Structure 1
Amino acid sequence: MAKNISSETQNEAMKVAKATQKPGQTKEQTKLIALGIEKGIAEYKKQQKSKARDRDKSRKQEIRAKARAAETVDSDTTELETNSTRPMLPWGLLVLSWIGFIGFHFLK
């Protein structure tokens, strides 16, 4: 476990242990207190990393859900637009052709 603890954390733990050192306390006792503080700091950092990962996962899931919802709305809208414009095209061409035929017949 001591291999996972950074020197920065060890230094910080030693500072805290020395700051709380009581008169008559031996160096070994101070080192043991520093080790306990190191373990506490390491555990705290692990918990924070875990919470950060969980937050990232939930944020990514929300983004994916929003993207899926937007994608389904876009596909529905596109489908409605294509269905509503397609039937008008043949009828419009038919009306134009009849107007053209009638106009050609009267101009003759």
Structure 2
Amino acid sequence: MKNKVSPEVTASALKIAKGTQKMGQTKEQTKLIAQGIEKGIAEYKKQQGKKLRELDKQRKQKLKQQQNDVVTIEEDVSNDYPSKPLPWILLILSWVGFVGYIFL
């Protein structure tokens, strides 16, 4: 399966190959050098693509971890302050006492 290389890359590789051409070097040799440069550029682009995908995966994992941390913190906060019955009982007793004091 042949890798598809853009015309810009091909032109760039040929330009580089011609720029480094030695005296007595045939056109066929220059063409082979240009093909090697094209393969190098294609391989470089593949590696960069892999690096970008890996960085994106790491970024997404970090974001997911931060979201999980926020949810965990919210759960911890809600667990730290559970609804206790004592304040409600005291409130009701104080109102009952107040109403009883008013009517007596």
TM range (shorter): 0.7 to 0.9
Q: 1:54-96 CA deviation, whole Å, 9 max, x = no partner?
A: 0110111011011101101111212333x14664234212212
Residue-by-residue CA offset, 1:27-67 (whole Å, 9 max, x unaligned): 11111000000000000110010011001101110110111
Amino acid at match of 1:95: S
Report how many residues are paired.
104
**Residue 4 of structure 1: SS of its match in structure 2?**
coil
Say if 2:38 is the partner of 1:38: yes
Question: Between Structure 1 and Structure 2, which shows a larger proportion of helix residues?
Answer: 1
How far apart in 2 are the matches of 1:86 and 1:45? Answer: 65
User: What is the distance in 1 between the residues matched to 2:48 and 2:85?
Assistant: 56
1:98 maps to what in 2?
97
Q: Which 4+ residue blocks in structure 1 deviate beyond 3 angstroms? A: 84-87
For residues 96 and 76 of structure 2, the distance between their equivalents in structure 1, rounded to whole angstroms, comes to 33
> When the two structures are superposed, what TM-score results if normalisation uses the length of structure 2?
0.88
Query: Paired residue for 1:67?
Result: 67
Pairs within 5 Å for 1:75-90? 75-81=75-81, 83-84=82-83, 87-90=86-89
CA RMSD of superposed structures (Å): 1.7
Q: Any unmatched runs of 5+ in structure 1?
A: none
Q: Which moved more, 1:21-30 or 1:34-43?
A: 21-30
2-structure distance, mates of 1:86, 1:29: 89
Aligned to 2:52: 52
Matches of 2:84 and 2:20 in 1, distance apart? 79
**Identical amino acids, percent of aligned pairs:** 44
The two structures have a TM-score, normalised by structure 1, of 0.85
Distance between the aligned counterparts of 2:83 and 2:11, measured in 1?
71
